[in-house]
Structure 1
């Protein structure tokens, strides 16, 4: 899958590497600022069973 994405990016190798890094940064930001906060109420991180 990653090879397919890389082959379909425009430009020479330095441009492809820059675009790949930009896509990774966008996905990471989307996860950190949108997906994880939306899922947080359903993840029982603070439920401690030791008593």
Structure 2
């Protein structure tokens, strides 16, 4: 898949690398701006329940 993407990108190796980095940053930006906020309400990370163990006063 990456080799096919590399062949499709225009220009020299430096241009291809710059375009690949720009595409990666755009992909990460889309994830942080739209995808992660859209799925955040469905994730249970804000529903934390801790159960404490009964403590004993006896020394070991």
Using the size of structure 1 for normalisation, the TM-score is: 0.91
- Which runs of 5 or more residues in structure 2 are unaligned? 52-60
Q: Which runs of 4+ in 1 moved over 4 A?
A: none
Structure number with greater CO (CA < 8 Å, separation at least 6) is: 1
- Pair member with larger Rg: 2
- Which runs of 5 or more residues in structure 1 are unaligned? none
Answer 1 or 2: which has greater helix percent: 1
Q: How many residues align?
A: 51
Using the size of structure 2 for normalisation, the TM-score is: 0.79
Q: What does the per-residue CA deviation read over 1:7-47, in whole Å, with 9 as the maximum and x for residues that have no partner?
A: 11011101000000000000000000000000011011011
